[in-house]
């Protein structure tokens, strides 16, 4: 699992732009109104930066393997077929004790028979500041040994309704001894 843990990392956030609007009404009528008013809404560009902490052992595990292939004597570099579910902290700085911006909740699967690569599917759930309560949905391929891994922002909720963009992951730290990885994320999104 050290290999899988190499994957994750991340986060401090620097938010740019976007006037704060708290308490977005989420009832169906309000959502309809929001859509009907879209033509008057201006597109915004928001940049986020944060560190993502994947912890697979110790007292504060946030990422657990929930499945693996019956034949796990993998000769490929990745433990092909392994699946983790995680609820990882997103923090401003690389230290887990730095300010928490939210949680990255989702799963990753070792989905490559070749060079190590994961399928990532996760929601970034923000719990601070102007994006408190909003989410971004991310799906992508994460070839964990590459310097930059580009994943897609495929949508969002709250302040991030109809979001689209790119999330770029970099490994900040990978410690196989403690099954801990810290990933640095830069996310650029267009939304309304
Ligand atoms: C429609 O959008 C404009 C521009 O974003 C905003 O000022 C206005 O309050 C919105 N109206 C409604 C009913 O949401
Ligand atoms: C686990 O989390 C608790 C509470 O945040 C903290 O006091 C403790 O030091 C952490 N343990 C480890 C091994 O990180
Ligand atoms: C496990 O992999 C090794 C190396 O490829 C191979 O020699 C061995 O036969 C495999 N064992 C099983 C049970 O598949
Ligand atoms: C396969 O998985 C089982 C159960 O998780 C584990 O006990 C065993 O050591 C694994 N075998 C190999 C070759 O990785
Ligand atoms: C993380 O922060 C804590 C206290 O804020 C400090 O004791 C610790 O040394 C820091 N760890 C690293 C790796 O900087
Ligand atoms: C975030 O929103 C929740 C739910 O509305 C609220 O309870 C919490 O106090 C807010 N946190 C911050 C830091 O604004």
Tens digit of each residue's pLDDT (9 = 90 or more) over 10-39 = 333 344 443 334 578 999 999 999 999 999
Share of the chain above pLDDT 70, in %: 85
pLDDT of residue 12: 33
- Domains in the chain, please, with CATH? 1-35 (no CATH), 42-191 (2.40.480.10)
* Cα(126) to centroid(ligand 6), Å: 10
Three-state SS letters, 60-115:
CCCEEEEECCCCCCCCCCCCCCCEEEEEEEEECCCCCCCCEEEEEEEEEEECCCCC
**CB burial of residue 25 (10 Å; 0-12, 13-18, 19+):** exposed
**Does residue 58 have its Cβ closer than 6 Å to ligand 2?**
yes
**Does residue 41 have its Cβ closer than 6 Å to ligand 1?**
yes
Look at residues 165, 62, 158, 157 and name the one whose alpha carbon lies nearest to residue 108: 62
Best residue among 73, 79, 113 to mutate for probing ligand 3, ranked by most atoms within 8 Å of CB = 73
Contact 60, 74 (CB under 8 A): no
Q: For 150-183, what is each residue's pLDDT tens digit? A: 999 999 999 999 999 999 999 999 999 999 999 9
Q: Which atom of ligand 3 is nearest to the CA of 71?
A: 14
């Amino acid at each position: 699992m050290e290999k899988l843990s190499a994957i994750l990392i991340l986060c401090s956030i620097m938010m740019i732009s976007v006037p704060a609007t708290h308490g977005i009404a989420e009832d169906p009528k309000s959502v309809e109104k929001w859509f009907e008013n879209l033509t008057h809404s201006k597109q915004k560009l928001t940049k986020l930066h944060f560190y993502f902490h994947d912890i697979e052992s110790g007292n504060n595990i946030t990422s657990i393997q929930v499945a693996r292939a019956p034949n796990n004597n993998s000769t490929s570099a990745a433990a092909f077929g392994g699946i983790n579910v995680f609820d990882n902290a997103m923090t401003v700085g690389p230290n887990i004790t730095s300010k928490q911006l939210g949680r990255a909740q989702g799963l990753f699967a070792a989905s490559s028979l070749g060079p190590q690569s994961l399928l990532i599917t996760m929601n970034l759930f923000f719990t601070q500041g102007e994006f408190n309560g909003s989410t971004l949905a991310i799906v992508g391929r994460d070839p964990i040994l590459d310097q930059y891994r580009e994943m897609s922002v495929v949508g969002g909720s709250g302040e991030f309704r109809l979001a689209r963009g790119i999330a770029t992951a970099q490994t900040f730290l990978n410690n196989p001894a403690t099954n801990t990885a810290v990933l640095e994320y830069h996310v650029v999104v267009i939304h309304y």
